[in-house]
Amino acid sequence: MDVTSTTSTSTGTSTSSSMTGLADQYDQFLTLLTTQLQNQDPLDPMDNKDMVNQLVQFASVEQQIKQSDQLESLIGLLNSSADAAAMSYIGKDVQVEGDITNYDGQTPVTFGYKPASAAEQISIKVYSSSGELVREMPGEKSAQRHEVTWDGTDESGEPVDPGLYYFAVSAKDADDETIKAAADITGRVTGTGFSESGPVLKIGDAEYTLSEVMSVSNADDA
């Protein structure tokens, strides 16, 4: 929430600065035009063509200020709508594209994967955020989406510490060639934040954008 508020304030400050700059140009143009009219030679007034060109420029600056104001208002509304959409995910279980998740020390973690083609051999490896192999599990070989649940223990059956973990799918065909596999994570949204690409959903310390969400379900349905 604090991150979003800070971002909104920053956007408002930027908008105010832009509008001030345009307004300054508007005032400068008006002052220049008025001065020219006051100091023109009555016996040799300005050419009508020049007067019309300056009036056109005057109208153009005024229109630019109005368009900028309307555009900034529209951007503000879109950002508010995106923030509200992100907050509506809090407390829900989401399936998102990616291979990084947060283990809270108690809740088993569900990973999903889909090999691009049927594999001859396949294994699922869980790594800590430092890159240390924590657990290796067997996987299904068919070319469809499969799920595997990790209970938060290492190869010795000992519980691991809470934190960020990621998993990798090692799949090979009959020719020992590597097969790519799409990955996804299922977890509960604990909060929201903001990034350069827009609002993000937080699953513990892991962050995902709204565009990475594949499905949503209420926590009570899990």
Mean pLDDT of the chain: 78
Q: Which of residues 87, 109, 126 is at a domain's end? A: 87
Pick the range with the lowest mean pLDDT from 12-26, 80-94, 199-213: 12-26
Proportion of the chain above pLDDT 70, given as a percent: 68
Sheet with 181-188, edge to edge strand ranges:
146-150, 109-115, 181-188, 92-97, 213-218
What long-range pairs does 28-34 form, CB within 8 A, spacing at least 24? 29/57, 29/58, 29/61, 30/58, 33/58
| Adjacent-strand bridge partners of 97 | 184
Rounded to whole angstroms, how far apart are CA atoms 39 and 30?
14
Average pLDDT over residues 31-60: 68
**Coil, helix or strand at residue 210:** helix
Pick the range with the lowest mean pLDDT from 6-20, 30-44, 54-68: 6-20
Average pLDDT over residues 51-56: 65
Rounded to whole angstroms, how far apart are CA atoms 200 and 186?
15
Give me the residue label for tokens 């294994």: 123
What DSSP element (H or E) covers 127? strand 121-128
Tens of pLDDT, residue by residue over 103-156, are 889 989 888 999 999 999 999 999 999 999 999 999 999 999 999 999 999 999
Q: What per-residue confidence (pLDDT) applies to 205? A: 79
Greater pLDDT, 2 or 160: 160
Token digits of residue 19: 């509008």
Same structural domain, 64 and 103:
no
Q: What per-residue confidence (pLDDT) applies to 48? A: 58
Sheet with 198-203, edge to edge strand ranges:
191-195, 198-203, 206-209
**Coil, helix or strand at residue 160:** coil
Residue 181 Cα distances to 79, 99, 168, 184, 187, angstroms: 34, 11, 9, 10, 20
Nearest to 109 by CA among 143, 144, 134, 140: 134
Q: What per-residue confidence (pLDDT) applies to 91? A: 82
Same structural domain, 52 and 14:
yes
Same structural domain, 153 and 49:
no
Average pLDDT over residues 186-204: 82
Q: Which of residues 57, 87, 117 is at a domain's end? A: 87
The CATH number of the domain holding residue 167 is 2.60.40.4070
161 pLDDT exceeds 70? yes
Same structural domain, 68 and 31:
yes
Same structural domain, 13 and 71:
yes
Q: What per-residue confidence (pLDDT) applies to 4? A: 40
Token digits of residue 181: 């596999």
What's the predicted TM-score (pTM) here? 0.55
Q: Which of residues 87, 115, 143 is at a domain's end? A: 87
For helices 48-87 and 2-39, angle between their N-to-C axes, nearest 10 degrees: 170
Contacts of 42 (CB under 8 A, 6+ apart): none
Same structural domain, 159 and 72:
no
The two most distant CA atoms of the chain are separated, in Å, by 101
Rounded to whole angstroms, how far apart are CA atoms 167 and 152?
12
Residue 13's pLDDT band, with cuts at 50, 70 and 90, is low
- Taken in order 190, 193, 195, 198, the sign of the CA dihedral is positive
Domain that holds residue 206: 92-221
Same structural domain, 82 and 152:
no
Nearest to 185 by CA among 155, 149, 135: 149
